[in-house]
Homo-oligomer: A and B are copies of this chain.
Amino acid sequence: MPRPVTIRTVAERAGCSIATVSRVLNGTARASADVEARVRAAVAALDFRPSEIGRSLKTLRTRTLGVVIPSLTNPVFAGSVAGMEAEARGRGHTLLLTASDYDAAREQDLVATLVAQSVAGLVLTVADPDANPTLDLLDGQGIPYVLVYNEPQRPGRAAVTVDNAAASRALTGAFLAAGHRRILFIAGRFSTSDRSRLRHQGYLAAMAAAGLAAEPVLELDYLADTAAHRSALAGLLGGPERPTGIICSNDLLALSVVAAVREMGLAVPGDISVAGFDGIAIGRLVSPPLATVDQPTRRMGARAVERLFDLMGGDAARTVELLPFELRPGGTLSPVSPPVASAPRASATPQPPSPKSPSRKSAARKAPR
C-alpha cells in the first residue's frame, strides 16, 4: 500500500517547502505565480486533501460543531438538525451528533466528549436550561454554544426558540373561540422538557384569563405507545363531563392521543378536538389534518448555527431569540359539538375572536364542577 500523501509529499513534488504549500492552500500569503502553479499542479496530481487533524492540532480548534439533542426519533429534532447540517456545511463545518435520550447525566457526558474533540462550538437542546451544571461548565471554559428549543429564563445564554407560552395561549385561545370550556392539557414529562412546562403555563394563563378552571395536567411519556396512552386516558374520558378538547404539548403525543381516543370509540374532532405543538410534516397528511402550532423547525437549527458562528466570531449577545410561530387550526380542532337536545342554543354560540369568553359560558361550566 502506498504511503499516505501528506503536505510533505506535495512540497517534494512541487519543489518547495511545506510552508509554501500551506500558504498557497490557505491563501495566508501570496506566492509567486510560478510556485503557486507548481503547488496546485502537485495537489491535483496527488489528490491531496490536508488532514484536519494536523490542522486542528495547531489551532486547537476543529471545523466541527458539536450537537446534543434528546432524540433523533422525534422529527422536530431531526428537522432542526437538518437545518444545522445545511448551515454548517455551507460554512465548511461538519456536525458531531449525539443524542442524550433525555438523560441529564448522559447530557453531561456527551458535552465532555464533544469538548474533548475540540469542537468549535455546540448546539444543544437540554432538559433544563436554567439549572444545568453542563452549561455552567461550558460558560466556565468559555466555549461558545447556542440552545435550541430551550427558553432559558435567566439572561446570559444564547438560544433560538419560539415564544412557547404565547404559542400555547394562542392555541388555547383557539379552543376557547371554538366554544370549548373543558380543555385537558396533556404534557410530555416536565422534567425533560422546559418547552412542555412553558406550554402548560401558557395554557394555564389563557384559561385563567378566560375565567375558567384548568383541568389537572396529565403528564405522559410521548415515547410510550398508544395503548399506554389509552389506559391513561380511560378514566378521564369516561363520564359525561369529559373534556371536549385536548391540547398536547407536542405533535407526536397528539397523534398518539388521537389514535387512543378513536380506539376508545370517540370521534376526533366530532366528540373531542385535539391539537398539538410543533407542526411536524406528518400532521398535514393525516385526516383530518392535525391542528397545531407550526414552528420553523429547520430554520431554527440553521439560525442556531448562524448565531453560533457570531458567537465564535466574538461579538455577539447571548440572548434568547424568538422565531415566529404560526397557529394552524382546523382539522382535528373544530367547534364544540352542541348537546344533542338543545340545537338552537348551540347554533347560537358565538365565535368570539378573543380568548376572553362571555361569563355565560364560565357559568355553564361552573355548574358541573
Mark A residues whose CB is within 8 Å of B.
1, 4, 49-54, 56-57, 60, 62, 64, 71-73, 75, 78-79, 81-82, 85-86, 89, 94-99, 112-118, 142, 226, 255-256, 258-259, 262, 281-282, 284-287, 298
Contact = CB atoms under 8 A, between A and B. Distances in A.
Given A53-B60, A73-B78, A285-B286, 16 more contacts: A57-B57, A64-B96, A72-B72, A72-B81, A72-B85, A73-B281, A75-B75, A78-B78, A81-B97, A85-B98, A86-B99, A94-B96, A95-B98, A226-B284, A255-B285, A286-B286
Nearest to A54: B57
Contacts of A117: 52-53, 64, 94
A4 B60 CA distance: 10
Nearest to A262: B287
A6 B255 CA distance: 50
B71 A97 contact: no
A190 B244 CA distance: 47
A299 to B, nearest CB: 13
A54 to B, nearest CB: 7
A108 to B, nearest CB: 12
A160 B115 CA distance: 32
A68 to B, nearest CB: 11
Closest 4 pairs between A and B when the two form their complex, measured CB to CB? A78-B78, A72-B82, A97-B97, A255-B285
B99 A97 contact: no
Most B-side CB within 10 Å, residue of A60, A97, A116: A97
Contacts of A284: 226, 259
Contacts of A4: 60
A78 B85 contact: no
A232 to B, nearest CB: 16
A56 B317 CA distance: 34
